[in-house]
Amino acid sequence: MEQTTQQPARKKRILSCIQPSGIPTLGNYLGALKNWKTLADDFDGAFAVADLHAITVRQDPAKFRQQITSVLALLLAIGLDPEKSILFIQSHVPAHSQLAWVLNCYTQFGEMSRMTQFKDKSQSHADNVNVGLFAYPVLMAADILLYQADLVPVGADQKQHLEIARDIAQRFNTLYSPTFTVPEPYIGKQGARVMSLQDPMKKMSKSDPNPKSFISVFDAPEVIVKKIRSAVTDSEGAVRYADGKDGINNLMGIYSCCTGLDYAQIEAEFQGKGYGDFKAAVAEAVVEELRPVRERYERYVNDKAYLRDVAAQGAERASRIADRTLQKVMKKVGFVLP
Ligand code: TRP
């Protein structure tokens, strides 16, 4: 109200990244990507393919290359507009690696050792507990801080990393002078946490060895129907949301995200009907939800020239912002600028 004069209030900047490690699942889509589109309309958005993060686990070069392009095409397919938001590939903006090194020197070994994702991943990749895996949250902090992001949409598994990014920003600001915006987590409206179709106590994951446990955003309609039909439920036979009905709760959550109906409305719709009918409806809703994404994706992924343009334009816009922040940092630390 008080800002009657001066510049119009700047739109808040929101930044998020997705790793190009495998085809995203319905869980990634409903839990994160679908919201990016809405956020991009309300905020000043920057969205990146976090390829540098992906090499903390071993990648097959040919597959990796293809996945990076594929995820960029997916960002377009979910409806992000490269004219409006900044869409880029992390490694195309060298400032990420550069700032990450500097911030490594402002992050304590003890802090990183406490990261639960590091502890988990060093167990699941026990043969390759590399230093990059350890320092991964610092690179993520660099991603965020370079763009002076106000808001970062994060799932539960990334909250601790965002917390560290805030600590690093505050520490640097206090040691020198205000340099970084301290980012806030952005918690979406419906905390869509999609669970495995085969073990609804576990989060849906693309790395699950059982492909029936997850739906990939590019699964064909008949595959989606089959997977949902074989989803684990319970023996009660009533479509209602309740403790102990994890399978049904999960399907209700998915259905709710796709249709916008709340649980009471869903219960009313399936009153007196069995799980067969309900599963058919869920499958139909998921198929229709993903259909436009898959169709647009197929168009974009084959248009290599367009993808190259999008990436080049995105990298240029991203670099302009990132380089400004990096320069400030280098200067404050005392480097001699080139
Ligand atoms: N670590 C995130 C993940 O695995 C991806 C990511 C990298 C990210 N840099 C980021 C997310 C910056 C938000 C902001 O999901």
Q: How many domains does the chain have?
A: 2
Q: What is the rounded distance in angstroms from the CA atom of residue 321 to the CA atom of residue 314?
A: 11
* Rounded Cα gap, residues 310 and 80, in angstroms: 11
- Reported as a single tens digit per residue, the pLDDT across 143-154 is 999 999 999 998
User: How many angstroms separate the alpha carbon of residue 222 from the centre of ligand 1?
Assistant: 32
User: If you take atom 15 of ligand 1, which residue's CA is the nearest one?
Assistant: 18
140 CA → ligand 1 middle, Å: 6
Is the same domain home to 215 and 80? no
How many degrees, rounded to 5, is the angle at CA 25 between CA 303 and CA 42?
Answer: 75
Q: Is residue 6 part of a domain?
A: no
Same domain, 319 and 177: yes
Same-domain status, 87 and 223 = no
Pair 25, 146 in one domain:
yes
132 plus 272 within the same structural domain: no
Rounded CA separation 175/165 (Å): 15
Beta strands in the chain (DSSP E): 13-18, 44-49, 86-89, 151-153, 184-186
CB of 17 closer than 6 angstroms to any ligand 1 atom: yes
Of the residues 203, 227, 245, 279, which is catalytic? 203
- Decide if 227 is catalytic: no
CB 190 within 8 A of CB 256: yes
The rounded Å distance from CA 228 to ligand 1 centre is 29
For 310, half-sphere exposure in the C-beta direction (CA atoms, 13 angstrom radius) is: 29
Structural domain contains residue 4: no
At residue 45's C-alpha, the angle toward residues 257 and 24, to 5°, is 45
230 and 278 assigned to the same domain: yes
Q: Which residues have a Cβ under 8 Å from the Cβ of 104 and sit 6 or more positions away? A: 135, 138
Cβ–ligand 1 contact at 112 (below 6 Å): no
Asked whether residue 1 is assigned to any structural domain, the reply reads no
Burial (Cβ within 10 Å: 0-12, 13-18, ≥19) of residue 94: middle
Average pLDDT over residues 44-68: 97
State the closest ligand 1 atom to the C-alpha of 18, by its place in the atom list counted from 1.
5
| Residue 88 dihedral angles phi and psi, to the nearest 5° | -150, 170
Q: How confident is the model at residue 53 (pLDDT cuts 50, 70, 90)?
A: very high
Asked if 180 and 326 sit in the same domain, the reply is yes
Residues 55 and 161 in one domain: yes
CATH number of the domain to which 136 belongs: 3.40.50.620
Lowest-confidence segment of 2-11, 60-69, 137-146, 282-291 by average pLDDT: 2-11
* pLDDT at residue 270 tops 90: yes
Q: Residues 267, 162: one domain?
A: no
Whether 294 and 308 share a structural domain: no
**101 is in which domain, residue-wise?**
13-191+304-333
In angstroms, what CA-CA distances link 150 with 12, 128, 238, 324, 326? Answer: 6, 34, 44, 17, 17
The DSSP symbol for 271 reads T
Q: Any catalytic annotation for residue 206?
A: yes
Confidence bin at 191 (pLDDT 50/70/90): low
User: What confidence tens digit (pLDDT) does each residue in 156-178 have?
Assistant: 889 999 999 999 999 999 999 99
What does the pLDDT average to over 30-36?
Answer: 91
224 in the same domain as 90: no
DSSP for 84-103, please give it.
TSEEEEGGGSTHHHHHHHHH
- Quick one: 68 and 139 in the same domain? yes
Does 204 map to a domain? no
CATH number of the domain within which 234 lies: 1.10.240.10
Judge if the beta carbon of residue 16 lies within 6 A of ligand 1. Answer: yes
Is the distance from the beta carbon of residue 53 to the nearest atom of ligand 1 less than 6 Å?
yes
**Is 32 near ligand 1, meaning CB less than 6 Å away?**
no
Question: Does residue 25 fall inside a structural domain?
Answer: yes
* Ligand 1 atom at minimal distance to the Cα of residue 157: 15
Mutate to test the pocket of ligand 1, among 14, 15, 17, 112 (most ligand atoms within 8 A of CB): 17
> Is 8 a domain residue?
no
Q: Is residue 205 part of a domain?
A: no
- For ligand 1, the distance from its centroid to the CA atom of residue 265, given in whole angstroms, is 35
The residue contributing the CA closest to ligand 1 atom 9 is: 140
**Per the domain annotation, does 252 fall within a domain?**
yes
C-beta of 21 in contact with ligand 1 (< 6 A): no
Over the stretch 97-140, which tens digit does the pLDDT of each residue have? 999 999 999 999 999 999 999 999 999 889 999 999 999 999 99
User: Residues 11, 12, 121, 328: which is the catalytic one?
Assistant: 121
Tokens 């700032």 found at: 99
CA distance 215 to 201: 16
52 lines ligand 1 (CB under 6 A): no
DSSP codes joined into one string, 188-245: -SS---PBPSS-TTSB--TT-S-GGG--BTT--HHHHHHHHHT----SS------TT-
Q: What is the pLDDT of residue 189?
A: 60
For residues 225-252, average pLDDT:
96
For residue 274, how far is its CA from the centre of ligand 1 (angstroms)? 40
**What percent of the chain clears pLDDT 70, i.e. is strictly above it?**
96
User: What is the average pLDDT across 322-334?
Assistant: 98
